[in-house]
Amino acid sequence: MSAPHSATSANGVPTLDVARLREDFPILGQQINGRPLVYLDNAATSQKPVAVIDAIARYYREDNSNVHRGVHALSERATAAYEAARETVRGFLNAASSKEIIFTRGTTEAINLVAQAWGRSTLQPGDEVLITHMEHHSNIVPWQMVCEQTGATLRVAPINERGEVIMDEFERLLGERTKLVAVGHVSNALGTINPVARMIELAHAHEALALVDGAQATPHMVVDVQALGADFYALSGHKMFGPTGIGVLYGREALLDAMPPWQGGGDMIKAVSFEGTLYSDLPYKFEAGTPHIAGGVGLGAAVDYLAGVGREAIAAYEAELLAYTEARLQEVDGLRLIGTAENKAAVASFVLEGVHAHDLGTIVDHHGVAIRAGHHCAMPVMEFFGVAATSRASLAFYNTREEIDALVTALQDAQRIFG
């Protein structure tokens, strides 16, 4: 980057030059249905800065080769680039070692890896896995599957009407049978920021491990896995301005070392014979097959980009924009916010009286506004709030107040049509 994107205001709070930042995202400059694109579907996937797009293109134009195999120059460069990205991600999460950074396809695969490699070899009938009522399907279904395979039981901590985990109930559900707590850092459907440090502390007090689904947290806030005490932490590149198809499982080295491999294949072995196979060391033990090298490189570029913008500045800007968003939405007659936790990030989910979420999605798209309509892969959350679907505006640091105003105008148009 040629110049810093953030500065510090008089009161010490970092500020962002959003107009300048938007120029880093070429996709944002387009028109949809004759109006400027307003992209408010960032919780589904974020847009990509030129730095990421260029890093991927440069990798394919100049360095493309397979990793950890060849002795030729390109293979050395590809390996170096891929491993540099791993080190970049280590720094991003403040993991102790890059051996603790396993590249996966995304958060979903990272959670499945833990469920199958750790869970399947560890869980016994009667053991319990504790999740919460607000989890994304990807932090529910892998546990259901491994519980079915092992005879363990899945327990669910309830939430209150604001969309917060009821911590007394959460604590009550922890016991000597609890072997793992799996919880989302930030809810994709509600925006709730869970008190994960406290939840991990409670899990550890009961000698249970703790996995955090960080897919919705890493684009918005500083994450320090050692400060949190997380045993496992999962993230997706595409939610944090990197490419699709790449994600990360962080796991404490001792745990990963003790876990059997998950998928078998090339790259995860030291020696193979028909009598048996000697597996690779970390992190390669969990990376069978040719990895998504360009994805890793792109994710590394995204992390560098985020560092350049400033993660504290992002968090401060988004908190202010979310407050503005919720205030403006509440001006709309008949609008009900779903998810009003005290501690929230970047998501405003809502229902509008008399207008179904899918009709709303179509109508606001006419205004160039992209929001998500549906159950957000969190059907138990929808059931809890008694709705089939919600509309969701989800923010990134490149969104502006003017864009929120465009959303509100579009909602009022929908009400006029259905009025």
Which parts of 217-339 fold into alpha helices (H)? 225-228, 253-258, 293-309, 311-329
Among positions 384-403, residues that touch other proteins (CB under 8 A) are: 388-389
Instruction: For the CB of residue 137, give the shortest distance to other proteins in the complex, in Å.
Output: 12
Concatenated DSSP letters for 47-94? Answer: ---HHHHHHHHHIIIII---SSS--SHHHHHHHHHHHHHHHHHHHHHT
Q: How far is the CB of 165 from other proteins (least distance, A)?
A: 25
Per-residue binder mask for other proteins (CB under 8 A), 181-200, x = binder: --------------------
Indicate which single residue of 147, 335, 382, 395 sits in contact with other proteins (rule: CB under 8 A).
382
Show contacts with other proteins in window 347-376 (CB under 8 A). 354-359, 362-363, 366, 373-375
Scan for tokens 């403040």, then name that residue. 94
Strands 31-32 and 390-394: unpaired
Site mask, other proteins, residues 310-349, x = CB under 8 A?
----------------------------------------
**Number of residues written out for the chain:** 419
Smallest gap, in angstroms, from Cβ of residue 33 to other proteins? 8
- Output b/e per residue, 206-230; b: 16+ Cβ within 10 A: bebbbbbbbbbbbbbbebebeebbb
Q: Whose Cβ is closer to other proteins: residue 69's or residue 358's?
A: 358
User: Which residue, 327 or 388, has its beta carbon nearer to other proteins?
Assistant: 388
Q: How far is the CB of 417 from other proteins (least distance, A)?
A: 5
332-369 exposure pattern, b = at least 16 Cβ within 10 A, e = fewer: beebbbbbbbeebbbbbbbbbeebbbebbbebbbebbb
Token pair of 8, please?
């510090």
* Nearest to other proteins of 194, 415 (CB atom): 415
Q: Does residue 278 bind other proteins (CB under 8 A)?
A: no
The span from the CA of 200 to the CA of 214, in Å, is 14
The C-alpha atoms of residue 285 and residue 314 are separated, in whole angstroms, by 35
The whole-angstrom distance between residue 50's C-alpha and the CA centroid of its chain comes to: 21
Smallest gap from residue 325 Cβ to other proteins (A): 24
Contact set for other proteins, span 92-151 (CB under 8 A): none
The DSSP call for residue 407 is H
Is the Cβ of residue 111 or residue 373 nearer to other proteins in the bound state? 373
β 247-251/269-273 pair status = unpaired
Q: With respect to other proteins, which residue has the nearer C-beta, 324 or 418?
A: 418
Would you say 391 and 360 are in contact if contact means Cβ atoms under 8 Å apart? Answer: yes
**In the bound complex, what is the minimum distance in angstroms from residue 358's beta carbon to other proteins?**
4
DSSP state of 114: I
Q: How far is the CB of 123 from other proteins (least distance, A)?
A: 29
Distance, CA of 142 to CA of 69 (rounded, Å) = 32
Query: CB-wise, 357 or 395, nearer to other proteins?
Result: 357
Query: Considering CB under 8 A, how many residues would be counted as binding other proteins?
Result: 18
Q: Which is nearer to other proteins, 23 or 353 (CB)?
A: 353
Q: Annotated active-site positions, please?
A: 377
Taking every pair of Cα atoms in the chain, the longest distance, rounded to a whole number of angstroms, is: 73
Binding site for other proteins (CB under 8 A): 354-359, 362-363, 366, 373-375, 382, 388-389, 413, 417-418
